[in-house]
Structure 1
């Protein structure tokens, strides 16, 4: 779906920048790629240069992949293209794994026919006393090329564009800046630990960006939705650098549906004109109003609805009382202590089926700890209530084990002979080689296959210990080691046919009546999203199997966020003792305790995130007037038939 800004009247009346919304990041990236390709070809026909301003990070990856495809499959030439990148860490070597120079070569420059002298990335090796002069020359070089025709931007969670942090002046030029701590935390997933994230960067200034003839800012995912709204609908202020683009004459935000979720036209569409009152939108309006006014649902009045733009709902239901009762009962019915279905008589409003009373449940866990972190209470309850519970660990999770943790346990030998099919003397040599490698490892160096195997073994042992802790049957844990993950780097391969085949084979082997999988798309390095796409692709293949017709799929959120209250279709409550029991299960994953690599902007440990999130869900139910619990785990059903 693409929503054309020019065709919208009242619906976008809160937005101060043109916004184009696509169904996915891939579709949005294709649209941007087509615009760039059209300009390149137009300039080629006129025998003119095309000057592009480029960005790095996860946001433009699909864009560069599509440009490469257009070059290889549709003959798009880059011989007339000159590029200038926004920024680069400082100091950093150009061949370092985290270098934006290396990023651009790996994702674009090495795969198209752009002349080597035509692309420009700020130099992270310039002597500090020469940087001011270098930055002036960088801006001058852009001007001499004729100025930037299209500037591509991403957006940081604090609204930064390039590395222009809050407070950057609208007239600022290319310069050396100090990175905000939130930006360093957001980029920490690229580095083994926070201490290695650079504190400085060279960036084009906002003034340099504003000189571009056309600006296209891309944003993907729900974790960008709040800053997109502030930038597009809020005041133009240097405290949100992206909001300064409201003053650009030719700027457009290209975003996906998740990044658009907080725009008024989606969050509160009743404020932008007539809207279609679907059941989900009604629940969103009622719960949102109750939480906004800090009132239980049953205490909302006609006046409350009328004063908050919701008069249509009162008219439709006749009174606030009737509407309140309906929504209160519906939300109450999402609460269950029986996630596998309550035995006995059929309960038509229960989230799960009563029959069969004992179900086969398959929990897909993207990393070896997502099962216990995200749905540990439900996991334990499913087993205790007699269901046949299986866990499929989709990836090895090896990159999330620190080198220090490997050194701490490098002397353990259990599993080595079987892993490498070797005798004890050779395993001793492997341990010695592992220690030597880690002690001499450089920041730009990726782990050897042996080191990755050791790290994967550590996480596998922790996952098996968790399964023993819960009590599920020996052999009900499945280590898939999906190939897309095994690059040794934060950067993963796209999902491939083998990933899907392995998932299809497991589903057909187990034939579950329940499948649980991570619907958390805010995972900062994308593993959850790829794992979910693989499951969806596999379900599409098996959906006509006899067993699949009786299979329900439940989506849980990972460590990064929770479902919105109006989205929840099954809420599994936990007592204080059960919360503590879950915490102890999370503690089994010792390699993920304390300081965890690649954890994004949230410095809390995973057990803290899980408890805070589960407690917050319970508090929301309490505020709406429902039963009070210590914590709740939430699920949304996915219909694949």
Structure 2
């Protein structure tokens, strides 16, 4: 189990680079198995500091952050208060930032965020809460910022500041170009920051262009700083922050000069650090098969040489002499890894009938399998594994698709009016009257017309948006070759809030997954393992599947059930993680594209595109082409495209 921060407290006051494996790191960094463990460790350090200050009769001054990263920390602090008596009476807080302008009760307001996640659930005195004021007249902002700075100074500075990090490397809203001595001020937000916030505001055009932020200089005066980052989407910027040069283009790198900062990461966000990505460059490794495969692929791509052409000298010159000494010569290692990669490739994702499956990723039997594809949103199935989906249907397997959520928040309002217009005209043409007080066309139009950005849709509008996505999913299935009865719409309750923010995963959600799996008793399950999904839906959907599997695993039919994880529009598995690679022909790639096109509400411009401006079909094709190109560079057969899968062993 990952150690707590308390167990490393002595390291927190020492410079990075104390051990061989961390010699490239310029900030003290702790890596936990997952964000839950990491969040508990952070919350416990905060609680310990509060208690210590209470015992000394002192105030505890905390600098707080918003966003998805600290929510689990706040949840644990609330639990500690409610169940273990942790008091916040001596706590004074200063939040990093707030959008400008911003009303405190707006859905996107950081005042509302902090109240909902923390302040409304603890005994902190309200006068001890300080958050930048997004309602101020412009001419009063500068004096407010000066007062904010002075309040912090008068209290002796911030005892503990927690931070997240943006993709641009911003801390608070200190965007690239911010000076190390900058103070609390009004700042113009970077385009990438606004794009990342677009989902919270239901479109980039609704994101404020400015914000009030605590300055880098203010942050750097904190006695202790903890920066947390979760998920693979943060890996690159964490790599630059921890191991790169100090530069104002990545403001988080200023933390390298702070005497008491700890970066708290999960496995995903730490993936680009040298000790995680290429550990053989910084320490003597225990060479298991997985690490050897990872190292050989890295060496092949770095030297731009096919695996079978790597030499002993190549290994020795790049930190892998002990691998050659233990398992060499290079020729033997090359053959072994090449064969392993070759064995991942199959044109039979459901297993090849009447074939020796010793070195194939899937079983030959049963020849025709029951297959259950879980799709978090109504288009992930065709975007993420459309080629494999087509192949499974073409090869005669009994394929079912389960759409876990309605996807209704990702439909543009104008599409609702278009469908409502069709419904009105259809009623008029065939004299079908509205019954039971159902909303009329005019009601729907007026509801949308009067809606402000971020407002929750009416139940009728949510229903229409859900039906739009459902109809598109059915069209995609029909195009692939499935009948309507093979498409299952689960409408998991956690999703149905009408907001980007969802409810926690509940028992009802898990029961829905379990019931469907018991009904179908699949030999194969495909699920989205794309944890870089910026909106979190994929994470929750996968957690529900894993929990359902855990509860079902003792049932006899589960002995014949294999689970394959695919990646979505955000990224692909690393080549060393792929355990089944399904080649996609040019014709199949065209069919996959047409299946994606059936999702017309997501075509051209999606409501929540994430940070990537390409359409979903373009992202999918580029990803599939890139995977095939990597296999080609490694010296394997050249294919048009490849979809990759990793097996989940329960």
Q: TM-score range by the shorter chain?
A: over 0.9
Question: Which position in structure 1 is the counterpart of 2:273?
Answer: 263
Task: State yes or no: 1:333 paired with 2:331.
Answer: no
Question: Which position in structure 1 is the counterpart of 2:127?
Answer: 117
- What displacement does 1:488 show? 1.1
CA distance in 2, matches of 1:39, 1:51: 10
Task: State yes or no: 1:410 paired with 2:420.
Answer: yes
- What displacement does 1:638 show? 0.3
Question: Which position in structure 2 is the counterpart of 1:344?
Answer: 354
Alignment partner for residue 189 of structure 2, among 170, 174, 179?
179
Question: Which position in structure 2 is the counterpart of 1:46?
Answer: 56
Task: State yes or no: 1:608 paired with 2:624.
Answer: no
67-76 or 356-365: bigger deviation: 67-76
Question: Which position in structure 2 is the counterpart of 1:209?
Answer: 219
Question: Which position in structure 2 is the counterpart of 1:286?
Answer: 296
- What displacement does 1:573 show? 0.7
Q: What are the Cα deviations for residues 474-529 of structure 1, in whole angstroms up to 9, with x where unaligned?
A: 31111111011111111111111111111111100000000000000000010000
Alignment partner for residue 457 of structure 2, among 447, 450, 457?
447
Alignment partner for residue 251 of structure 1, among 258, 261, 267?
261
- What displacement does 1:185 show? 1.2
Question: Which position in structure 2 is the counterpart of 1:459?
Answer: 469
- What displacement does 1:279 show? 1.0
Alignment of 1:397-436 (within 5 A): 397-413=407-423, 424-425=434-435, 429-436=439-446
Task: State yes or no: 1:583 paired with 2:593.
Answer: yes
SS in 1 for 2:30: strand
Instruction: Note closer, same or farther for the CA distance 1:309–1:427 as it changes in structure 2 (3 Å cut).
Output: farther
- What displacement does 1:577 show? 1.4
Question: Which position in structure 2 is the counterpart of 1:138?
Answer: 148
309-318 or 460-469: bigger deviation: 309-318
Question: Which position in structure 1 is the counterpart of 2:14?
Answer: none
Unaligned runs of 5+ in 2: 12-17
Question: Which position in structure 2 is the counterpart of 1:514?
Answer: 524
Contact 2:63 2:160 in 1 (8 A): yes
Contact 2:201 2:454 in 1 (8 A): no
Question: Which position in structure 1 is the counterpart of 2:2?
Answer: 2
Alignment of 1:316-327 (within 5 A): 316-327=326-337
Alignment partner for residue 65 of structure 1, among 57, 75, 100?
75
Question: Which position in structure 1 is the counterpart of 2:567?
Answer: 557
CA distance in 1, matches of 2:47, 2:150: 26
CA distance in 1, matches of 2:89, 2:407: 41
CA distance in 2, matches of 1:253, 1:15: 10
Contact 1:185 1:602 in 2 (8 A): no
CA distance in 2, matches of 1:278, 1:613: 29
- What displacement does 1:441 show? 0.4
CA distance in 2, matches of 1:137, 1:318: 67
441-450 or 604-613: bigger deviation: 441-450
Alignment partner for residue 540 of structure 1, among 543, 550, 557?
550
Question: Which position in structure 1 is the counterpart of 2:15?
Answer: none
- What displacement does 1:345 show? 2.6
Question: Which position in structure 2 is the counterpart of 1:628?
Answer: 638
SS in 1 for 2:439: helix
Question: Which position in structure 2 is the counterpart of 1:155?
Answer: 165
311-320 or 155-164: bigger deviation: 311-320
SS in 2 for 1:424: coil
Contact 1:516 1:554 in 2 (8 A): yes
SS in 1 for 2:94: strand
CA distance in 1, matches of 2:484, 2:445: 33
Instruction: Note closer, same or farther for the CA distance 1:427–1:461 as it changes in structure 2 (3 Å cut).
Output: farther
- What displacement does 1:424 show? 2.4
Q: How many pairs are equivalent?
A: 635
274-283 or 371-380: bigger deviation: 274-283
Question: Which position in structure 2 is the counterpart of 1:98?
Answer: 108
Q: What are the Cα deviations for residues 248-282 of structure 1, in whole angstroms up to 9, with x where unaligned?
A: 01100111111111111111111111111111111
CA distance in 2, matches of 1:444, 1:542: 39
144-153 or 612-621: bigger deviation: 144-153
SS in 1 for 2:373: strand
CA distance in 2, matches of 1:14, 1:604: 35
SS in 1 for 2:638: coil
Contact 2:21 2:282 in 1 (8 A): yes
CA distance in 2, matches of 1:608, 1:598: 16
Q: What are the Cα deviations for residues 436-486 of structure 1, in whole angstroms up to 9, with x where unaligned?
A: 110010124211222211111110111111111111133111111101111
- What displacement does 1:346 show? 2.4
Question: Which position in structure 1 is the counterpart of 2:311?
Answer: 301
532-541 or 299-308: bigger deviation: 299-308
Task: State yes or no: 1:377 paired with 2:387.
Answer: yes
Question: Which position in structure 1 is the counterpart of 2:373?
Answer: 363
- What displacement does 1:425 show? 4.6
Alignment of 1:190-201 (within 5 A): 190-201=200-211
